[in-house]
Structure 1
Amino acid sequence: MKYSTTVLFFALIGCKSAHTINNPKVDNAITKNAVQLLEDKRFHSVSIVVLKDGKSITRHFGELTIGKGNKPDDSTLYELASVTKTFTGYIASKAILDKKLNLDDDIRIYLSEPYPNLEFKGEPIKVKHLITHTSGFPNFPPKSENKEAFFEGLRLINIETKPGEVYSYSNTAPELTAYILEKVYQKPFEELVNEFVLKPNKMDQTKFTLNENDRNRLVKGYNDKNELMPNFNRTLWGGISGLHSTTTDLVKYMKLQLDKSNVTVNESHKKLFKEGSDFWEGYHWYIIENDNQLIYRHHGGIYGMQNWFVIYPKQNMGISVLTNASFNETGEILEKVVDNLYNDINAIQ
């Protein structure tokens, strides 16, 4: 693909929002990391969000459509993909505090029919196992074309390890969690997300269901062959994916996650399962904690776009990096961008 000098010039200049941190060094650090990323021609655009000590900056680079030079901006809608799971975790933590759920509940008490297969040698799958990817459920539901088929698929699952002992990433478990949350609150999961997360934090640009104007703002992304990819079609509750958001709304979500006075946030950040010497699972947060760091993070990947969303409570900081490209190495590359940007900002005196 050939680019004119003019297109390249305007594609690489970032679009600055009205919420800019008044520090040119931070701005320069963002620009440096964005330009380095876009040197890899598999990437076409990148949006970067930084929140530090209550002040934020959102910057946009590249082009959303190959060859057109149309930069993303603060109104661009991205699919959050698996970062949606952190919203599921937040509502689950609220349900625990509201005493609607107990982490040690056998999940089958919330199902309308018996599922004798959802245990291992008499050991039941508990709510906490769904939340921490330790249920033994498969990554993808055996059937996911609709909600009725999902429950049919649950009967096909064979639990091969004791629940709570082995981490295995599952997109099946968060969907069942969303269903359980609907049942205990007697409200649709989409309504729970609106009531408990979006409305209180004025995240009016974050939503599951899009109108025509929203769809026009929705990113259409690419794979590594520059082929345009479809957007995700939600057929289940939305516990794993389906939320769309803008960079400015992600700032608001960062502020929520950094609010130490919020008891639901504090519950959702609890370490529920230990994976390594300094790595834990929270309520759909991956938690890194050692002598030098405390990090809450989640990656989101879907057809044609990916993002990393990271919270650093000790530094009172959040970083999100979003791109309109998705291929095998994208997550690792974006993770390095986040790490490098974090180091660059921390080095600024």
Structure 2
Amino acid sequence: MIVTITPHIIVLLRKTVFYPMLLLPVFAQGQINHSAYEAMKDTIVSKFNHGDYKAIYRLFDTSFSNKISQPKLVNFLKGNQNSGKIVASSFLAEDKGKVSYLLEFELRDMIMDLQLTYDNKISSFGLKSAPLVFLSEPPVVKSDNSLRSALDKAVDSAAAEYFKYSKANSLVIGIIKAGKKHIYFYGETEKGNNKLPTSGTLYEIGSITKTFTATLLAQAVLDKKVSLTDDIRKYLHGNYDNLSYNSMPITLRDLANHTSRLPAMPEDIGEQPDYNPVSPEAHYDSTLFYNALKKVTLDTIPGYKFLYSNWGTSLLGHILEKVYGHSQADLVRRFITGPLEMNNTMYITNEDGYDIAHPHSENGRRLTVSNQGYFSPAGGLCSTVNDMLNYLDAQLKEINAAIKLTHAPTINNMGLGWGVRKGRVTRHLEHNGSEQGSTAHISAFPERNSGCVILVNNRVNLGKLIVRIQEIAKEDSYK
């Protein structure tokens, strides 16, 4: 055995934090006891899957535990609950007395680094996201793109870049250009099924649902049922003195433009009965929802500082349910999907009988459509490209006063529900949607009568694809 000086590393929520230099006893390279490492890895996996994080802490050597407290490690491990359970593990590499393992969680892959002392205690530990795998060349994928026009070819080039992502399944791109609709289908709805998506294939649209809820708010304002400046406590039962700061209350507008200062989600979301990180909202009922709301402490005056909040939009949806005396689903049908002939846009509670592009996690595992439960006003809708192009067309034409009101700037480049930016030539309205296994985007450029919709059944960063399709939608040379 030799003694070396190494930096102690622990990766917290995808950020690497370096702790002071430590004297760590490690085996010289070539003397690693692989069976001891395998046993330790299996022990960690088992205890993590059972939520026994304190037991994991007890596996550490004092050289670690003297620097990292039990609550800190427990909170870190609990923070990784949102990756799901560990379903598989394998050896990756050995380097300078450290062994790395690939841990396949239900929702993503992570890399665990381990270093053990001579008596098989953990002296160094790291957990970080595994890098996504991209191909050097785009694969050949099924498509209905005829490649006849400059527009077709530009879209195909953008799609080819997307399919370098090795876990990609299907991709649907819808474009309205100078008022004309164009639709392109790529890939297969599930690896190996050879089934190209169609105009009737349902995709989760995630947080784009927030623009629907905001439209319901705008409708309620026009119906004179509410005012944007109403104190939300007017619509809540019980005492919520905490929902103000320096006597400034949260308003309905604050919920719609993410300036309420409500957190993204309740802090106790992981404490609900039957908590499942793959579907974290499923069992968080109205009682938990409003009890947590009573415990919130605002950090500043509402209405000014942006803080994206699923909780806030969900609360807005339920307030509107009380105002109208109807469910969110009924209100969406009555005011949005019915008038716009979006007959395949809905909240799905049972997948049977639907043509669904099943969601797939970041590491390619098939999932079911997410159960948003009481948070469905913030992200529960499924839709098709045909329906979403109808929705996009309505935004471009601003066909009614409610839609137009949602586009009116409020603060921080936000309208009601929509991101709103003013360019030199046109406004840019947009929203993204992301679930555990799906990603979606919508952009509208009203003054150009152009825009785009992107739907995929993978959890993936669509940033580059979005920018390129936006350019194609706006650029006059692509016809």
Could you tell me the TM-score, scaled by structure 1's length? 0.88
Evaluate the alpha carbon distance shift between residue 76 and residue 15 of structure 1 in structure 2; reply closer, same or farther with a 3 A threshold.
farther
Rounded Cα–Cα distance in structure 1 between residues aligned with 2:244 and 2:216: 25
Contiguous gaps of at least 5 residues in structure 2: 1-138, 270-280
Give how far 1:185 is off. 1.1
Are positions 1:25 and 2:150 aligned together? yes
Letter of the structure 2 residue corresponding to residue 262 of structure 1: N
Evaluate the alpha carbon distance shift between residue 260 and residue 290 of structure 1 in structure 2; reply closer, same or farther with a 3 A threshold.
same
**Deviation larger for 135-144 or 116-125:** 135-144
User: Percent sequence identity over matched residues?
Assistant: 28
Give how far 1:15 is off. 6.0
Aligned match of 1:219: 357
Are positions 1:14 and 2:144 aligned together? yes
Q: Deviation string for 1:214-258 (max 9, x for gaps)?
A: 44x222232332222342112115210111101111111112112
Aligned match of 1:197: 336
5 Å-filtered alignment, 1:119-130, equals 119-130=244-255
5 Å-filtered alignment, 1:35-74, equals 35-74=160-199
Evaluate the alpha carbon distance shift between residue 79 and residue 162 of structure 1 in structure 2; reply closer, same or farther with a 3 A threshold.
same
Aligned match of 2:458: 325
**Which aligned runs of 4 or more in structure 1 are off by greater than 6 angstroms?**
none
Are positions 1:253 and 2:386 aligned together? no
5 Å-filtered alignment, 1:145-164, equals 145-164=284-303
Q: Matched residue of 2:211: which SS? A: helix
Q: How many residues are matched?
A: 327
Query: Residue 213 of structure 2 is aligned with which of 88, 96, 108?
Result: 88
Give how far 1:285 is off. 0.3
Rounded Cα–Cα distance in structure 2 between residues aligned with 1:212 and 1:242: 13
Q: Deviation string for 1:278-302 (max 9, x for gaps)?
A: xx10110001103233110000000
Q: Higher Cα Rg: structure 1 or 2?
A: 2
Query: Residue 406 of structure 2 is aligned with which of 268, 287, 292?
Result: 268
Letter of the structure 1 residue corresponding to residue 157 of structure 2: K
Aligned match of 1:4: none
Rounded Cα–Cα distance in structure 2 between residues aligned with 1:149 and 1:212: 27
Aligned match of 2:477: 347
Rounded Cα–Cα distance in structure 2 between residues aligned with 1:241 and 1:133: 15
Q: Deviation string for 1:199-221 (max 9, x for gaps)?
A: 11111111113555544x22223
Rounded Cα–Cα distance in structure 1 between residues aligned with 2:386 and 2:145: 13
Q: Matched residue of 1:281: which SS? A: coil
Contact kept, 8 Å, 2:310 with 2:375, in 1: the verdict is: no
Query: Structure with the greater relative contact order (CA < 8 A, sep ≥ 6): 1 or 2?
Result: 1
Give how far 1:170 is off. 0.5
Could you tell me the TM-score, scaled by structure 2's length? 0.65
Contact kept, 8 Å, 1:14 with 1:31, in 2: the verdict is: no
Query: Residue 206 of structure 1 is aligned with which of 338, 342, 345?
Result: 345
Contact kept, 8 Å, 1:139 with 1:169, in 2: the verdict is: yes
Rounded Cα–Cα distance in structure 1 between residues aligned with 2:343 and 2:154: 29
Aligned match of 1:5: none
